[in-house]
Structure 1
Amino acid sequence: MSSTRLVTILGATVRRQRHLRELTQRDLAELAGVSQTAVARIERGDRAPSILVLERLLAAMDVQLAVGVEPLDAHLDARIAELAARPVVDRIDDLGLDGMLDRLADVLPQVITGGTAALLQGAPVPVDALEIAVRWRDSTRFTSWLATAYGQRWNARWGEFGMLRLEPEEPGEHRWSTRYGELRATMCDELPETIEVRHAGRSYRVVPLVQVELGDAHAGELLRRYRDKQLAGGG
């Protein structure tokens, strides 16, 4: 990923989080102790924020930066092309999606979001975990389910699962390993609007693709990458 693309993604992330909280650029600037001009330039991708400024902006919105890695562009393109050639039902089986959803269904309301929602709508994005939205008021039930599923919370400090409390209210990424596979959650006050998709006779409630692209920086980047490749190739 070039530095220009990274700056664009960081700016889009700050803007998206600000919009989710219904803050103006001036509001965010005052909360973070920076100038409104700085916020505007960062969101437009005109300026690469320092780590300190980025952490202050995100902390002002009660979120934190999570750093990850992904394959180099050529390898990523090859992976996307490989997934595009495979039926969606095969990719659902690979993820073990149905088994985990069956175990969650009777426990708490949830909808599928992120890269998993994109997969179910046919997008060839690499997915390694079930991604769902869960309401904060269902946190206790969610925590209980995680405990029965031998859940372990992702520990960013040590780069592995474990050594952290399970509760979503505790600091840390909303990411757990369970006996049924990896699970990532977006905690929210109300579940987002969904559409229904069907595969192999089964129904799934998913966040629409356009909302996935707007609300998930990583999945959105992969979707735009795939779309750009398709346009470039005349697809």
Structure 2
Amino acid sequence: MSTRLVRILGRTVRQQRESRALTQRQLADLAGVSQASVARIERGDRTPGLPLLESLLAAMGVQLTVATEPLDAHLDAELAQLADRSLADRIHELNLDRLLDRLGDLPNAITGATAALLQGAPLPVDAPELAIRWRDSTRLTRWLEAAYGQRWNARWSEFGGLHLEPETPGEHRWRTRYGEVRAVMCDELPATVEVCHGGRSYRVVPLVELEVTNPRTAVLLRRYREGHLRRPG
């Protein structure tokens, strides 16, 4: 599973590489590793071993340092940073509109942190989160096949090596040609409200429902509200 630390390490490698105008291939050649390894680390799909991480950083003339901070203190800083970004940019970054267009008439509802984001709470979102009914599992599988989907394999900490079908044990998380997507499989779609942005409407699970049914999103919403109240102005 991609953890916060894995994502931070991947983001650090990418930022250092881009600041030196290096391609992934060039960095891989300098460090003596494959380009695929660099790509998986930067995406947060792979947990890098310390020798590999040190090799990548050393190839760019830097080294890793370690520090500690109060548990989850990073969340307040991240939420404040995300609050300063435009919603349009974040929707574009998630490939949300393209994904929804490509899903066609497959019934779904936007849920989780993605739904909170569209309702004005700038929470961190790694990939669009959709509620999908179990009765539509076969349709989802066919869509994933057509979209060259790969299932997240927690055992290997990378995409691939698992059957696409939601019934197969494993996280409901796939990488497709239209970006990553995460599903919450359910018997019936949750009640939704309509929100509009940039001339487009989205069917989203209301915040009040998210706070009851999605513990992780509820925690982030509470931290965002507390932090927002503390901000000047």
Shift of the 229–177 alpha-carbon distance from structure 1 to 2, 3 Å rule, reads: same
Identity rate, percent: 66
In the alignment, which residue of structure 2 is the partner of 1:88? 87
Q: For structure 2, which runs of at least 5 residues remain unmatched after alignment?
A: 9-70
Q: CA contact under 8 A between 2:80 and 2:227: conserved in structure 1?
A: no
Q: For structure 1, which runs of at least 5 residues remain unmatched after alignment?
A: 1-65
In the alignment, which residue of structure 1 is the partner of 2:76? 77
Q: CA deviation at 1:91?
A: 1.0
SS at match of 1:169: coil
The answer on 1:164 being equivalent to 2:162 is yes
Q: CA deviation at 1:234?
A: 6.6
Residues 68-121 of structure 1: CA deviation (Å, up to 9, x unaligned): 436763433222112111221121111111000000123x11010011101111
Q: CA deviation at 1:67?
A: 8.2
Paired with 1:205 and 1:137, the residues of 2 have a C-alpha distance of: 20
Give the TM-score normalised by structure 2: 0.68
Paired with 2:231 and 2:89, the residues of 1 have a C-alpha distance of: 25
The answer on 1:200 being equivalent to 2:198 is yes
Paired with 1:81 and 1:229, the residues of 2 have a C-alpha distance of: 8
One-letter amino acid of the structure 1 residue matched with residue 212 of structure 2: L
Residue-pair matches, total: 169
Paired residues for 1:103-114 under 5 Å = 103-106=102-105, 108-114=106-112
In the alignment, which residue of structure 1 is the partner of 2:208? 210
Paired with 1:73 and 1:112, the residues of 2 have a C-alpha distance of: 26
Residues 168-192 of structure 1: CA deviation (Å, up to 9, x unaligned): 0010011111111111001111100
Give the TM-score normalised by structure 1: 0.67
In the alignment, which residue of structure 1 is the partner of 2:153? 155
SS at match of 1:182: strand
Residues 43-64 of structure 1: CA deviation (Å, up to 9, x unaligned): xxxxxxxxxxxxxxxxxxxxxx
Paired with 1:234 and 1:211, the residues of 2 have a C-alpha distance of: 29
RMSD value over aligned CA atoms? 1.8
Q: CA contact under 8 A between 2:123 and 2:220: conserved in structure 1?
A: yes
